[in-house]
Amino acid sequence: MRLARAGDLALFISRDHKQFLTRLQPGERLHTHRGIIAFDDCIDAAWGRDIRSHLGYPFVVLEPSTADLVRQIKRTTQIIFPKDVGYILMKLSIQPGITVVEAGTGSGGLTLALARIVGSTGRVVSYEARPEMQNLARKNLEKVGLAGRVEFKLKDVESGFDETDADALFLDVPEPWRCLAQAASAMRGGGFFGTIVPTANQVIRLLDALQDQPFGLIEVEELLLRAYKTVPERLRPMDRMVAHTGFLLFARKIDRTWQAEVETGEADEDRESPEFGV
């Protein structure tokens, strides 16, 4: 059985679905709209248990998920939505021990997820051109205990990255097509590349610019997330859904010669479709 320990991050959820993310410290308390919760009542107790405030109001105490942490961070700009973050982690093959570069940091939502996945043996390098945003992201990562896995760099990446052998690189900047050559120079051969833009015309500019860079196996996708009301007697979609949040573009750093042959039709025409089930 996993128990909540002193110093752990904890998520308290009230019966009316208010959420409170905090760190359990002996002798301290959480003040809520439904009363005060003593942390000593939670430490060394099981996760998922019912906790009562001093007014007798019920809360449940849980280990926060990565999605919980991303949603709870303080932000002054739009963050990448959890539905997109999860897919980005998979498409960039983020795993323990790798080096991943991102630009820009923003409020640190994606940075947090990357730092959690690369583990203590991995490295996240995060570029941001705005000092105030970098400071906010640093504080957000410090709050969840992950700042030690991130190297923050204050720099406009149009002037280039400092790295030359990154396993993966993600751009979340206004004009990513202006940074493609710089991104390629920062990545190892075969490395994973990704970016996000909100409009279709930006995707077109990206696709045009990618023709001159050592990237191939290009994919453009968007994710739509529809939740359902979890009532057995009337299961139905929720009235609202998280629809378009951005276009995701992914590619691999590859030899331009191979890519040129594919584009001109000189490559083997018998290659199989990459689509599942085809």
Per-residue pLDDT tens digits for 77-122: 888 999 999 999 999 999 999 999 999 999 999 999 999 999 999 9
Q: How confident is the model at residue 265 (pLDDT cuts 50, 70, 90)?
A: low
Q: What share of the chain is helix, strand, coil (3-state, %, to 5)?
A: 30, 30, 40
Residue 76 has a pLDDT of 86
The answer to whether residue 133 scores a pLDDT higher than 50 is: yes
Q: How confident is the model at residue 271 (pLDDT cuts 50, 70, 90)?
A: low
Segment 155-160 shows an average pLDDT of 97
Q: How confident is the model at residue 276 (pLDDT cuts 50, 70, 90)?
A: low
Give the count of alpha carbons within 13 A of 73, CB side only.
33
Q: How confident is the model at residue 278 (pLDDT cuts 50, 70, 90)?
A: very low
Cβ(219)–Cβ(195) below 8 Å: no
The CATH number, out of the four listed (3.40.50.150, 1.10.3720.10, 3.50.50.60, 3.40.50.300), of the domain defined by the range 67-264: 3.40.50.150
The answer to whether residue 270 scores a pLDDT higher than 70 is: no
User: In terms of Cα–Cα distance, which of 223, 224, 248, 222 is closest to 238?
Assistant: 224
> Where in the chain are all domains bearing CATH 3.40.50.150?
67-264
Sign of CA dihedral 127, 131, 137, 139: positive
Residue 255 has a pLDDT of 86
Per-residue pLDDT tens digits for 187-222: 999 999 999 999 999 999 999 999 999 999 999 999
Q: Which fold has domain 9-64?
A: Vcp-like ATPase; Chain A, domain 2 (3.10.330)
